[in-house]
Amino acid sequence: MSSLDVAVLVGSLRQGAYTHSIGKALQSIAPSGMTTEIIPIGDLPFYNPDLDEGTPPAPWTRFRQAIAAKQAVIFVTQEYNRSVPAVLKNALDVGSRPYGSSVWGGKPAAIISASPGNISGFGANHHLRQSLVFLDMPTLQQPEVYLAQVNTLIDDAGNLKPDTAKFLGGVLEKFAAFAAKNI
């Protein structure tokens, strides 16, 4: 595969979030031929099937078109209450509907979970994997990416520290090869 256009979905709305810093950094560490773009999800109204009758909300249409135009998806998320943040789950729901029109099906995916604690977003990572199975998204199995103590992996300016950048760069290399086999 000569090029790979990847959507990045960040599970936090907080501008200074560690996951946001990671999502932004992916472009600079991506292997040759891979481009990444953070697709905003904070403006998506909560999914309600009634709103899909007639003209759906403009943010839903924008989001669905943006995801449909990408070849693959990387999810970068923290954990809320041992699960996926509501804003990220809502994005999955908006993109999967109306029934039969999912923008997710067949798109290769990878998950990066992060936390300042030692559990490193394990619960969110695995709950997200359950949804991706239903959404028919082949998901990178190895390497798994759980960034514990993420606050020590990013500097005060929001940049990845060299060892973290090297590790995630290797993950992106594996993801590019995985995506090439699954697109």
CATH of the domain at 129: 3.40.50.360
How far apart are the C-alpha atoms of 93 and 139, rounded to whole Å? Answer: 18
Per-residue tokens: 180:
């090439």
Going edge to edge, which strands form the sheet with 72-77?
34-38, 4-10, 72-77, 109-114, 145-147
> Tokens 């999914």 label which residue?
47
Summarised one tens digit per residue, pLDDT across range 7-61 is 999 999 998 999 999 999 999 999 999 999 999 999 999 999 999 999 999 999 9
The two counts, helices (H) then strands (E), for the chain are 5, 5
Mean pLDDT of 56-80: 98
Predicted local confidence at residue 1, as pLDDT: 53
Q: How many residues does the chain have?
A: 183
Predicted local confidence at residue 152, as pLDDT: 97
Residue 99 has pLDDT above 60, yes or no: yes
Predicted local confidence at residue 2, as pLDDT: 76
Give the total number of structural domains in the chain.
1
Domain hosting residue 141, numbered range: 4-182
Summarised one tens digit per residue, pLDDT across range 123-162 is 999 999 999 999 999 999 999 999 999 999 999 999 999 9
Instruction: Say which residue, 160 or 1, is predicted with more confidence.
Output: 160
Mean pLDDT of 88-110: 97
Mean pLDDT of 52-79: 97
Q: What is the dihedral of CA 68, 106, 39, 121, to 10 degrees?
A: 160
